[in-house]
Amino acid sequence: MVRYIMIYTILSLGAIVMMVPLLWTVSTSLKTRDKITIRRLELIPDPVAFENYPYLFEARPILQYTRNTMVIVVASLFGAWVPCTLAGYAFARIPFPGRNIFFGILLATMMLPYVVRLIPLFLFFDEIGWTRTFGPLILPRVLGHNAFYIFLYRQFFRGIPEDIYDSARIDGCSEFGVWWRIFMPMSRPVLAAVSIFAFSFAWNDFLNPLIYLGSNKELWTLALGLNALQGFEGEDNSLNLIMVFSMLMIIPMLIVFYFGQKHLITGVTASGSLKG
Amino acid sequence: MQASLKSKHVQHDATRKLRLQEWWFRNRALIGFAFIFPWFAGFIIFDALPFIYNLYLSFTDYQIGTRGIPPWIGFENYIDIFTDDKLFGKSMYNTVYYLGFSVPLRLVFAFLIALILNLRVRGMELYRTLFYVPSVVPLVAATVIFAGFLNTRYGFLNQFLVLIGATPVRWLSSPDAIKPSLILLSLWGFGGQMIIFLAGLQSIPEDLYEAAAIDGGTGWHRLVYITVPLMTPTIFFNLLLGLIGGFQIFEQVFILIGTNGGPLQAGLVYMLHVYNKAFRDFEFGYSAALSVILFLIIFVLTIMLVYTSNRWVFYGDAQDDET
């Protein structure tokens, strides 16, 4: 009995501490302008300023930010669904010459920090006139340039029984057919997991948009817009709007994770990526 | 008559299949290459060439206005970094300081909470969600929230400290508090590691615990002799990723404190120094050299960890049975 009281006390205290910043965000996002600069703790907003939410859409080009972010998200999802799965399939099931060497290269790139490629890539895109455009953000994603996704797919595909594959092949199914008709439908968990990663990495990306789109306000993403709101307006008298903006970035992520959480764990663990 | 027609049909079908299989067998190398081609093209354009060019750049004097091939200056950038650059040491110190606290603390919190959640208490799903949700918050939003949360006058934390009679802290504007603020922010996102630990804990076979119970093992024995050893691969995984990620901390500092690194540059982390040299001062050669040093540090650290992992990471005999 004492043990249970202790467990629940620890869990509840921890959960409260973890949730306080978010509760404070919700509360601040609903406060009026003169309430946010009161130097006293006031968790329940009074009056409740729901109008902050529509107001932010007037004050900032939120829809434009969202559209720009979605361009990157869509490119990311396309890359994760088509080129990455094909590559994962080839690494798992097609015995082509040099496969192990290519796979070794793939694993090595997972360890390569972005910082050693940052400057040459910037100079390269600058040279071909692609800075201030979506190009540098889209091209790598459309090509499925993500070793981690390919690795997850490969591990998962290897877990699909060889018999299924063989019988399809004997029935005269092409490689493309096997990939499309058998592996894709059987791979829902790993597809869901990778899709969540792809969405959230694209949604959260900050450094790349900053470098390539920072000087082109037309193409700013939500992340850049939020950073600008907090940086330029002075954090004191627009705290409520900053928190409204934060909520706008958080809610889609919560929805994605709510629907995907079940698959996230099965997809990643079934890929066996944690066991090496 | 009918029978022979049927057998002919079957025969025809079989040869067609056979031919298809042959075609596939002869061309599967081609098909394999075609399937990995997009990734491989990306590897050449976005990994291999930039990596090599970055190495080359680090030996050149590439400044704004440099046209054509930047001039080769040998090790000059590296010599400058180690003898002349006060911010190199400072930013490295700040980064290691941040890592030294945030990585172990995050591991410990994530592991302990995962252990408690794994006790199969009622309402476990709810608690798991509550602990995990902050990790779902986009990093930019989390950082902006903390900027407000830690605001000296209007932030929650100081108002709370005043309420309970403690002294408020200038979290983001006093040199002593900047790094602790960054560590606090990183701790808020321990949920990702917690989930990985939880998945690992749930894959430990129940019969091991039962055997221990029969032999009269206490809860403490089970933790020390079963849980922790079997969790070492997961601990290793989280530790490695935590270190690699921690060395590259950037966005949080950029947004919370700005590119200067705050008062006395107490928040100037290594990546910020790299960023400033490249995109503020346009000294691309110098910045490339800084990035190569960071790469070498991460590389050596990874090798060392993997090498020493043989001594403390338990890969077990179970794995041999599985494969």
Could A140 and B54 be called an inter-chain contact, meaning their C-beta atoms sit closer than 8 Å? no
- Quick check: B69 pLDDT over 70? yes
Closest CB to B39 among A22, A144, A174: A144
Could A120 and B195 be called an inter-chain contact, meaning their C-beta atoms sit closer than 8 Å? no
- Quick check: B319 pLDDT over 90? no
Mean pLDDT for chain B overall:
88
In angstroms, rounded to a whole number, what is the distance separating the alpha carbons of residues B36 and A84? 8
Most A CBs within 10 Å, among B10, B17, B39, to test the A interface: B39
Q: Which amino acid is at A71?
A: V
Closest CB to A119 among B33, B254, B288: B288
- Quick check: B120 pLDDT over 80? no
- Two structure tokens written together for A66: 């969202």
- Quick check: B140 pLDDT over 70? yes
- Quick check: B9 pLDDT over 70? no
Could B203 and A269 be called an inter-chain contact, meaning their C-beta atoms sit closer than 8 Å? yes
Q: Which residues of A touch B284 (CB under 8 A)?
A: 119, 123
pLDDT of residue A236: 61
pLDDT of residue B60: 94
- Quick check: A264 pLDDT over 80? no
Could B291 and A21 be called an inter-chain contact, meaning their C-beta atoms sit closer than 8 Å? no
In angstroms, rounded to a whole number, what is the distance separating the alpha carbons of residues A147 and B133? 27
State the smallest CA–CA distance between residue B156 and chain A in angstroms: 7
Confidence of residue B40 (pLDDT cuts 50, 70, 90): very high
Confidence of residue A33 (pLDDT cuts 50, 70, 90): confident
Specify the residue for token string 């403490």.
B220
Could A86 and B295 be called an inter-chain contact, meaning their C-beta atoms sit closer than 8 Å? no
pLDDT of residue A64: 97
In angstroms, rounded to a whole number, what is the distance separating the alpha carbons of residues A32 and A244? 12
- Quick check: A274 pLDDT over 60? no
Closest CB to A207 among B159, B195, B250: B250
pTM for the structure as a whole: 0.90
User: What's the CA dihedral at A261, A267, A269, A270 to 10 degrees?
Assistant: 150
Residue B69's nearest CA partner among B285, B279, B276, B278 is B285
Q: Which residues of A touch B247 (CB under 8 A)?
A: 113
3-state secondary structure chain B: CHHHHHHHHHHHHHHHHHHHHHHHHHHHHHHHHHHHHHHHHHHHHHHHHHHHHHHHHCCECCCCCCCCCCCECCCHHHHHHHHHCHHHHHHHHHHHHHHHHHHHHHHHHHHHHHHHHCCCCCCHHHHHHHHHHHHHCCHHHHHHHHHHHCCCCCCHHHHHHHHCCCCCCCCCCCHHHHHHHHHHHHHHCCHHHHHHHHHHHHCCCHHHHHHHHHCCCCHHHHHHHHHHHHHHHHHHHHHHHHHHHHHCCCHHHHHHCCCCCCHHHCCCCHHHHHHHHHHHCCCHHHHHHHHHHHHHHHHHHHHHHHHHHHHHCCCCCHHHHHC
State the smallest CA–CA distance between residue B5 and chain A in angstroms: 21
pLDDT of residue A270: 65
- Quick check: B111 pLDDT over 60? yes
Higher pLDDT, A135 or B214: A135
Could B156 and A24 be called an inter-chain contact, meaning their C-beta atoms sit closer than 8 Å? yes
- Quick check: B133 pLDDT over 90? yes
- Identify the CATH class of B86-322: mainly alpha
- Quick check: B317 pLDDT over 80? no
* ipTM of model over 0.85: yes
Most A CBs within 10 Å, among B30, B36, B64, B254, to test the A interface: B36
pLDDT of residue B5: 55
In chain B, where the domains are located? 2-43, 86-322
What are the C-alpha distances in Å from A156 to residues A117, A169, A198, B28? 29, 19, 17, 21
Higher pLDDT, B70 or B19: B70
pLDDT of residue B270: 97
Could A117 and B46 be called an inter-chain contact, meaning their C-beta atoms sit closer than 8 Å? yes
- Quick check: A275 pLDDT over 60? no
Q: Is A178 within 8 Å of A172 (Cβ atoms)?
A: no
In angstroms, rounded to a whole number, what is the distance separating the alpha carbons of residues A105 and A96? 15
Average pLDDT rounded to a whole number, residues B93-104: 97
List, for residues A152-176, the tens digit of each pLDDT value. Answer: 999 988 888 888 878 887 777 777 8
Confidence of residue B321 (pLDDT cuts 50, 70, 90): very low
List, for residues A172-218, the tens digit of each pLDDT value. Answer: 777 788 888 888 888 888 999 999 999 999 999 999 999 999 999 99
Residue A208's nearest CA partner among A140, A108, A143 is A140
State the smallest CA–CA distance between residue B9 and chain A in angstroms: 15
Higher pLDDT, B58 or A94: B58
pLDDT of residue A60: 92
- Quick check: A35 pLDDT over 90? no
In angstroms, rounded to a whole number, what is the distance separating the alpha carbons of residues B294 and B271? 9
Confidence of residue B1 (pLDDT cuts 50, 70, 90): very low
pLDDT of residue B7: 61
State the smallest CA–CA distance between residue A168 and chain B in angstroms: 11
Q: Which residues of A touch B121 (CB under 8 A)?
A: 4, 7-8, 11
Higher pLDDT, A272 or A136: A136
In angstroms, rounded to a whole number, what is the distance separating the alpha carbons of residues A121 and A258? 36
